[in-house]
Amino acid sequence: MPQIQMGKRVKNRCDAGDYVVSSAKTNAESVGADIEVRWGVIAGFMAGFLVKVIQWFAGILEGSGKKLKQKELDYVAELADDIEPRKKRDEASAAAWNLIGSARSRIEQLQGDEGLKTYGLWEPVLQSPSEVAHRLTTTIEFLDKNPVTTADPFGAVFDSTVVVDKLRAALATLNEALAKVLTEERERQDALNARDLAIEEWALAYQGVASILSGLFLLAGRTDLSERLKPTIRRISGQEEVPIDETTTAPAEGGE
């Protein structure tokens, strides 16, 4: 089975979030310490409090990112699940279409245009699965109402009851395949809705956490990294790839 992969924009979003989380985890202690040294410890708060704050915000974004990844993978899996039911539906539709075509030709040969009108086969059958199922249903009804047994000049017998049995079997197979496709479509839509909701939640978490951490890094004197953490429209929308570099590493003591 091929490996299920996320869509590019969702992957870019998750990478952007992971970049912020990694930066926070790597630099939490040094950033917290630098802020306390530069600005002092606020009365009523213990030393090291900011480290916990940074880690907490990172945890919010990390959890949101994991949820988004899972919802995206669920959606992609649903897309893959659609392939086989659609294939079976199309195969059942094609088989039924050929069967109706054979019955139509036989009736036209034996009864002419009047026979085609009697059995609802005057117009050619369209090839869409739903149209094939509809025409199967009406043809069966007409054949039930107007049963006939006849033979051509060479003695080949046309028995409408035999034709009906074959059409009913084809209709049952096609209806089952159509129902399966409808189920898959509902499941796919549910997965898509859940994925889109996860994107909205992630976007909120990303903007909020990245903005806060960018501010804290700025207070700690990490100007360059603070700038990199700022959320952008392109990253929020998944249009921008996050560059792979080493900027999440805590700088050596004494400067960046």
Distance CA 61, CA 209 (A): 7
* Cβ proximity of 174 and 91 under 8 Å: no
Please check whether residue 107 lies inside any domain of the structure.
yes
pTM of the model: 0.78
pLDDT of residue 250: 45
Distance CA 22, CA 250 (A): 11
49-106 pLDDT, tens digit per residue, is 889 999 999 999 999 999 999 999 999 999 999 999 999 999 999 999 999 888 888 8
Strand blocks (E) in the chain: 149-151, 157-159
Please check whether residue 176 lies inside any domain of the structure.
yes
Average pLDDT over residues 221-249: 84
Please check whether residue 167 lies inside any domain of the structure.
yes
Average pLDDT over residues 225-241: 94
Question: In the block, which residue shows the tokens 């630098």?
Answer: 34
Average pLDDT over residues 156-161: 79
List CB contacts of 103: < 8 A, sequence separation 6 or more.
121, 139, 163, 167
pLDDT(25) > 50: yes
pLDDT of residue 125: 73
Whole-number average pLDDT of the chain? 88
Domain that includes residue 118, residue range? 95-183
Please check whether residue 99 lies inside any domain of the structure.
yes
Number of structural domains in the chain:
1
Q: What DSSP string runs through 71-124? A: HHHHHHHHHHHTHHHHHHHHHHHHHHHHHHHHHHHHHHHHHHHHHHHHTT-SSP
Q: CA-based angle 204:247:243, to the nearest 5?
A: 65
pLDDT of residue 56: 96
Sign, Cα dihedral of 164, 167, 171, 177: positive
pLDDT(254) > 90: no
* Cβ proximity of 57 and 213 under 8 Å: yes
pLDDT of residue 114: 83
Please check whether residue 25 lies inside any domain of the structure.
no
List CB contacts of 242: < 8 A, sequence separation 6 or more.
12, 15, 16, 18, 19, 235
* pLDDT band per the 50, 70, 90 thresholds, residue 116: confident
* Cβ proximity of 136 and 171 under 8 Å: yes
pLDDT of residue 242: 83
pLDDT of residue 251: 47
Please check whether residue 240 lies inside any domain of the structure.
no
Q: 149: which DSSP letter?
A: E
Please check whether residue 235 lies inside any domain of the structure.
no
List CB contacts of 67: < 8 A, sequence separation 6 or more.
198, 201, 202
Please check whether residue 10 lies inside any domain of the structure.
no
Q: Say what percent of the chain tops pLDDT 90.
A: 64
Lowest mean pLDDT among 2-11, 23-32, 227-236: 2-11
